[in-house]
């Protein structure tokens, strides 16, 4: 079983606590001149995205988490199940709506997504930072209004709802930032 | 002039020229401070067959080329010094009266915003000093270097009572553990229940130290006897170590002792430090050294202090990362 000793602690290592994978997002070394060295760590749960503070003393170790990132293709959605395929092994993975989280809003067939595996099981999936989606429905826009600060709701091809400028029309293609969920611009075919 | 690139610029120092000039100015100030008081500047080896034996200090071991050095009695491995303490006391036992030096010290595994494995120490000793005059001299230097009001003096016991309502000299390990668990979101699971000093260190560094020396520096004295290191123990009730430390803006800056003079006591402390090191899963360090011989010959009563110069530069420059006050910190050394 691989472990990380305190001397190997640094931002970015992936460790396992109570059977769940964590990313070390901060590690602060504290030591009185003649006293016990401490490592104050901030750890992010890679499944639930919660953050945890843990203090270790020199010589302690934490189990390493078997976490890897693979490139997958989104194949299709079947009810609450989202099916992806590993681009190199062609193995298929089924993720629940919970596991896919916000990503479902952007998933289109054959889209390339980064998937995180923990002990070989998928725990999260991320679409590309920018995706292009077709607007399926919105209220008609006020003609000639090109201001981007006046927004209205719309529904896109994946079934998700998002906010777009008033000039966007049904059938338009829009580019969206998947990290913030924000509209970026209207694009041509 | 080309565009800056991380690769091509990898040779550049981490500190600005402004900070490096400030550093150089502090070196001059320190030398003038000690020269005015009749101290002699000395140099001692960085590579020594002897090393300080402390539960929590890990020296770097340097292999020597035995074929070449056997002829000069250099066949034993050498330790990079964690402080110049042993050699400076050998000078005192041989007639030194007031000595100081600005030197490098090396401590393995210490790397963070306040630590670099190679750092700069100002260390001085004066024969004839007692606790009050030793703390007084440290205070005068602090006022000059930090441009601050004279430090306030408090005992270890007073600061624990003030900040935690806890008597650090009489509380048992279980009480200390409870105090730590109620105040901290996380305590190391591997802390042994009976490790009184471990719990005291945790409480001091996590709950008290960040609040020390905010308005003016503070000198904390009379440490628990179990943390005497190389200080004398004063036979008060309970006994305390004749040890003191300087804190400013939450930073630990200096550590001083009314020096232990008895070689037999030092032998016992070295053995006990090694016992803890083995318990902590560390390697034992050599139990014989030339300081013991010096103490047997007669080390005069004196006070010695070590001041971390890099942290003084941090305070003066307003930097929160020690890397920014040295030209080439460990990761780019």
Sign of CA dihedral B98, B104, B106, B110: positive
pLDDT digits (tens, 9 = 90+) for A75-125: 999 988 999 999 999 999 999 988 898 999 999 999 999 999 999 999 999
Q: Do A57 and B188 touch (CB under 8 A)?
A: yes
Nearest-neighbour CA in chain A from B198: distance (Å) = 6
- The whole-chain average pLDDT of chain A stands at 92
Percent of residues, chain A, with pLDDT higher than 90: 83
Give all domains of chain A, ordered by start, each with its CATH number: 3-64 (2.30.30.30), 67-126 (2.40.50.140), 130-187 (2.40.50.140)
Which chain A residue lies closest to B223 (C-alpha atoms)?
A34
Q: What phi, psi does B286 have (nearest 5°)?
A: -55, 140
Helix axes B173-183, B196-203, angle to 10 degrees: 30
Taking the CA of residue B149 as centre, how many other CA atoms within 13 Å lie in the half-sphere pointing to its CB? 7
CA dist B28 and B21 (Å) reads 11
**In the 8-state DSSP scheme, what is residue A140?**
P
The backbone torsions φ and ψ at residue B233, rounded to the nearest 5 degrees and listed phi first, read -105, 130
Interfacial residues of B (vs A; Cβ cutoff 8 Å): 54, 56-57, 109-115, 184-191, 197-198, 201-202, 204-206, 209, 227, 229, 245, 252, 255, 280-282, 308
- Which of B85, B159, B202, B321 should we substitute to test contact with A (largest number of A Cβ atoms within 10 Å)? B202
Q: Token pair of B293, please?
A: 């011989």
Verify whether the Cβ–Cβ distance B56 to A57 is below 8 Å: no
From the list B303, B281, B332, the residue with the least C-alpha distance to B58 is: B281
Residue of A nearest to B245 (CA): A33
Q: Measure the CA–CA gap between B138 and B134, rounded to whole angstroms.
A: 6
Strand ranges in B133-250 using DSSP code E only, listed in sequence order: 152-155, 218-224, 233-234, 240-248
Rg (CA), chain B: 21
Helix (H, G, I), strand (E, B) or coil at B235: coil
The candidate with the shortest Cα–Cα distance to B107, out of A34, A60, A5, is A34
Taking the Cβ of residue A59 and every Cβ of chain B, the question of whether any pair is shorter than 8 Å is answered with yes
Under an 8 A CB cutoff, do B109 and A57 touch? no
pLDDT in tens, chain B (333 residues): 456 676 778 899 999 999 999 999 999 999 999 999 999 999 999 999 999 999 999 999 998 776 565 555 556 789 999 999 999 999 999 999 999 999 999 999 999 999 999 999 999 999 999 999 999 999 999 999 999 999 999 999 999 999 999 999 999 999 999 999 999 999 999 898 899 999 999 999 999 999 999 999 999 999 999 999 999 999 999 999 999 999 999 999 999 999 999 999 999 999 999 999 999 999 999 999 999 999 999 999 999 999 999 999 999 999 999 999 999 999 999
Task: Tell me whether residues A56 and B187 touch, CB distance under 8 A.
Answer: no
- Our measurement of the distance from residue A76's CA atom to the centroid of its chain's CA atoms, rounded to an integer in Å, reads 19
- Give the best residue of B120, B159, B205, B231 to mutate against chain A (max A CB count within 10 A): B205
Q: Do B186 and A32 touch (CB under 8 A)?
A: no
Contacts of A58 in chain B (CB under 8 A): 109
Give the pLDDT confidence score for residue A31 in this predicted structure: 93
Residue B318 backbone class (left: φ over 0; alpha: ψ -120 to 50; beta: rest): left
Query: What pLDDT, on a 0 to 100 scale, did the predictor assign at position A107?
Result: 95
**pLDDT at B8 (0 to 100):** 78
Chain A residues whose beta carbon lies within 8 Å of the beta carbon of residue B229: 34
**Does residue A31 belong to the interface with chain B, where contact is any CB pair within 8 Å?**
yes
Structural domains of chain B in order of their starting residue, each with its CATH number: 17-151+216-332 (3.30.930.10)
CB contact under 8 A, B227 and A59: no
Q: In this predicted model, what pLDDT tens digit does every residue of A38-75 receive, in sequence order? A: 999 999 999 988 999 999 999 899 999 999 999 999 99
In this prediction, residue A149 carries a pLDDT of 76
Q: Does A8 touch chain B (CB under 8 A)?
A: no
Contact A50, A23 (CB under 8 A): no
What is the CB-side half-sphere exposure of residue B275 using CA atoms within 13 A? Answer: 6
Burial of B76 (0-12, 13-18, 19+ CB in 10 A): middle
Q: Which residues have C-beta within 8 Å of that of residue B294, sequence separation ≥ 6?
A: B89, B90, B92, B93, B94
Query: Nearest-CA distance from B189 to chain A in Å?
Result: 7
Yes or no, beta carbons of A32 and B188 under 8 Å apart: no
- pLDDT of A159 reads 92
- Say if the Cβ atoms of A32 and B204 lie within 8 Å: yes
Q: What local confidence, expressed as pLDDT, does residue B66 receive? A: 63
Confidence (pLDDT) at B63: 86
- Residue B75: the pLDDT is 66
A54 and B CB contact within 8 Å: yes
Q: In this predicted structure, what is the pLDDT of residue B83?
A: 97
* pLDDT computed for residue A46 by the predictor: 93
State the Cα–Cα distance between residues B321 and A156, nearest whole angstrom. 48
Dihedral sign for Cα A107, A109, A115, A120, please.
Answer: positive
């Amino acid at each position: 079983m691989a472990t990380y000793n305190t001397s190997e602690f640094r931002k970015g290592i992936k460790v396992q606590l109570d059977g769940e994978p964590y990313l070390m997002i901060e590690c602060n070394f504290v030591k009185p001149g003649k006293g016990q060295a401490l490592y104050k760590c901030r750890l992010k749960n890679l499944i639930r995205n919660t953050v945890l503070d843990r203090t270790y003393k020199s010589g302690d170790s934490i189990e390493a988490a078997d976490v890897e990132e693979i490139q997958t293709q989104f194949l299709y959605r079947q009810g609450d199940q989202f099916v992806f395929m590993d681009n190199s092994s062609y193995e298929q993975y089924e993720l629940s709506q919970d596991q896919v989280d916000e990503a479902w809003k952007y998933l289109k067939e054959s889209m390339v997504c980064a998937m995180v595996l923990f002990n070989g099981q998928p725990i999260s999936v991320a679409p590309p930072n920018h995706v292009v989606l077709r607007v399926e429905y919105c209220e008609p826009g006020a003609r000639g209004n090109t201001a981007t600060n006046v927004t209205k709701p719309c529904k896109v091809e994946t079934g998700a709802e998002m906010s777009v400028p008033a000039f966007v029309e049904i059938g338009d293609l829009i580019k969206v930032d998947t990290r913030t969920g924000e509209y970026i611009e209207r694009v041509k075919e | 002039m080309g565009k800056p690139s991380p690769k091509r610029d990898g040779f550049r120092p981490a500190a600005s020229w402004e900070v490096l000039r400030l550093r150089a100015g502090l070196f001059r100030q320190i030398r003038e401070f000690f020269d005015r008081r009749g101290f002699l500047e000395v140099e001692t080896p960085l590579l020594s067959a002897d090393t300080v034996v402390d539960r929590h200090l890990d020296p770097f071991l340097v292999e020597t080329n035995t074929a070449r050095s056997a002829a000069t009695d250099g066949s034993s491995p050498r330790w990079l010094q964690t402080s110049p303490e042993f050699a400076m006391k050998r000078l005192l036992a041989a007639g030194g009266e007031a000595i100081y030096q600005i030197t490098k010290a090396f401590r393995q595994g210490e790397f963070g915003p306040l630590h670099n494995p190679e750092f700069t120490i100002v260390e001085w000793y004066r024969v004839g000093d007692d606790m009050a005059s030793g703390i007084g001299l440290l205070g005068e230097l602090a006022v000059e270097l930090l441009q601050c009001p004279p430090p306030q003096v408090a005992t270890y016991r007073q600061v624990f009572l003030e900040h935690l309502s806890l008597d650090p000299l009489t509380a048992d390990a279980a009480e200390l553990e409870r105090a730590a668990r109620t105040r901290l979101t996380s305590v190391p699971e591997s802390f042994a229940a009976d490790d009184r000093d471990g719990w005291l260190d945790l409480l001091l560094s996590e709950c008290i130290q960040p609040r020390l020396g905010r308005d003016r520096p503070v000198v904390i004295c009379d440490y628990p006897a179990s943390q005497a290191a190389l200080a004398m123990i004063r036979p008060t009730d309970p006994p305390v170590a004749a040890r003191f430390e300087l804190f400013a803006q939450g930073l630990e800056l200096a550590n001083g002792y009314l020096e232990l003079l008895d070689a037999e006591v030092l032998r016992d402390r070295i053995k006990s430090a090694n016992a803890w090191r083995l318990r902590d899963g560390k390697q034992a360090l050599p139990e014989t050294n030339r300081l013991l011989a010096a103490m047997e010959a007669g080390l005069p009563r004196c006070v010695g202090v070590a001041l971390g110069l890099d942290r003084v530069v941090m305070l003066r420059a307003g930097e929160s990362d020690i890397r920014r006050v040295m030209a080439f910190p460990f990761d780019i050394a």
